[in-house]
Amino acid sequence: MDFELSEEQRLFRDTIRDFVAKEIEPVASEWEATDRYPTEIVEGLKEMGLFGMMIPEEYGGLDLDFVTYAMVFEELAKSWHGVAGTLGSHSLACKIISVHGTEEQKQKYLPDLATGKRRSGIGLTEPEAGSDLQGIKTTAKLDGDHYVINGTKTWITNARYADPLPVLVKTDPSASPAHKGMSLILVEAGTPGFTVSKDLPKLGYKGTESCEVSLVDVRVPKENLIGGVEGRGMQQVLGALETGRINVAARALGVAQRAYDEALQYSRDRHAFGQPISEFQAIQIKLADMATKIQAARLLINWSASRADAGGRVDMEAGMAKLYAAEIGVEVTLDAMRIHGGYGYSKEFVIERLYREAPLSVIGEGTSDIMRMVIARGLISGKDVIG
């Protein structure tokens, strides 16, 4: 296992860091506070080709390795978690189409998704079903050469920009087990009956929209069924969430790393009882624990990403990386707040924002409880952690 980045990965990271320093950092706190959509930043992400991270080169993408992909999310989230969100579920959708799409679907969508001319997201969660995706109620009935879709999706990131949006539906609601009757269908923006019905106000992860989406008698050509065969939707989704969780873990890591960096600097600058607070053992213990947890999370992420690069499924590895990085993200941002004292609670310091941005990672793309189930399933089936 190689713990060092290659020269190429290092150069790529420097490019991202440079962009973040110039284009995101100066506006992040102000735009986050007003929940302003980061239009100009998205244009920059397009220019760097980042919307094509998960798309093969033959369709115009960067086809990045997973270690570099994780690094991109870490660097963006260090500055603004919400901006990383514009790329997260988009990349997941690109992966699904790249791996499972028909050749016609790939030709039609991937080149524009790679440049960001088209954007995407993923429509899984419903008001009454999140972890339990087999409990979704959205249906798609074949009527001639069209599917007619009815249902409601919620918490859909990028909903206002997604074109197309892959939507998880039941094409056979009577199937048992339920996943055998589930499919993913690409719904294009502007299709009659497809409406973004509401924006959901939220704690953090601002800038990028999270919406409820309503589908009423939405007629979609049957060619939009991903892969062209019904009943494969759950497999397609689980295959994408597997590596999607590497990006969620990397975002949690970015938020934690930034909180630690801020806390370390603050502890050097802030004086109490005649000395910098970094001289107090209570502060040193916090800093040591924070840095160790962060580095352990980074190693888990790089390990799962390296295994993904080597091929094969990494549900367990990505589950471990996401579980750990998300949980320590919450702990580290709270410790960073403690180190800042009252200033950590003030909106004038970035810690307050990081503290609000951390918890999403323990929920999105599978809660920590679900991660533990995924990990245990891998262990029980005999998957080896040591390799």
Which residue numbers are catalytic? Answer: 365
Considering beta carbons, is residue 319 or 364 the nearer one to ligand FAD?
Answer: 364
**SS3 readout for 109-152:** HHHHHHHCCCECCCECCECCECCCHHHCCCEEEEECCEEEEEEE
Considering beta carbons, is residue 157 or 278 the nearer one to ligand FAD?
Answer: 157
Residue nearest to ligand FAD (CB): 130
Whether the Cβ atoms of residue 149 and residue 139 lie closer than 8 Å to each other: yes
Q: How far is the CB of 85 from ligand FAD (least distance, A)?
A: 7
Give residue 193's region: left, alpha or beta (phi > 0; psi -120 to 50).
Answer: left
Tell how far CA 63 is from the center of its chain: 17
Tokens of 51: 């919307």
Whether the Cβ atoms of residue 132 and residue 106 lie closer than 8 Å to each other: no
Considering beta carbons, is residue 143 or 199 the nearer one to ligand FAD?
Answer: 199
Give the whole-angstrom CA distance, residue 358 versus residue 114: 28
Q: How many CB atoms lie within 10 A of CB 81?
A: 31
Whether the Cβ atoms of residue 253 and residue 354 lie closer than 8 Å to each other: no
Q: How far is the CB of 237 from ligand FAD (least distance, A)?
A: 9
Whether the Cβ atoms of residue 190 and residue 164 lie closer than 8 Å to each other: no
Q: How far is the CB of 200 from ligand FAD (least distance, A)?
A: 8
Instruction: Provide long-range contacts, Cβ within 8 A and 24+ apart, for 344-351.
Output: 347/33, 349/262, 350/29, 350/258, 350/262, 351/259, 351/262, 351/263
Q: How far is the CB of 154 from ligand FAD (least distance, A)?
A: 7
Q: How far is the CB of 332 from ligand FAD (least distance, A)?
A: 20
Provide CB contacts within 8 A for 108, sequence distance 6+: none
Point out which residues bind ligand FAD (CB under 6 A): 89, 121-125, 130-132, 155-157, 202, 205, 210, 360, 363-367, 369-370
Considering beta carbons, is residue 67 or 318 the nearer one to ligand FAD?
Answer: 318
Considering beta carbons, is residue 290 or 354 the nearer one to ligand FAD?
Answer: 354
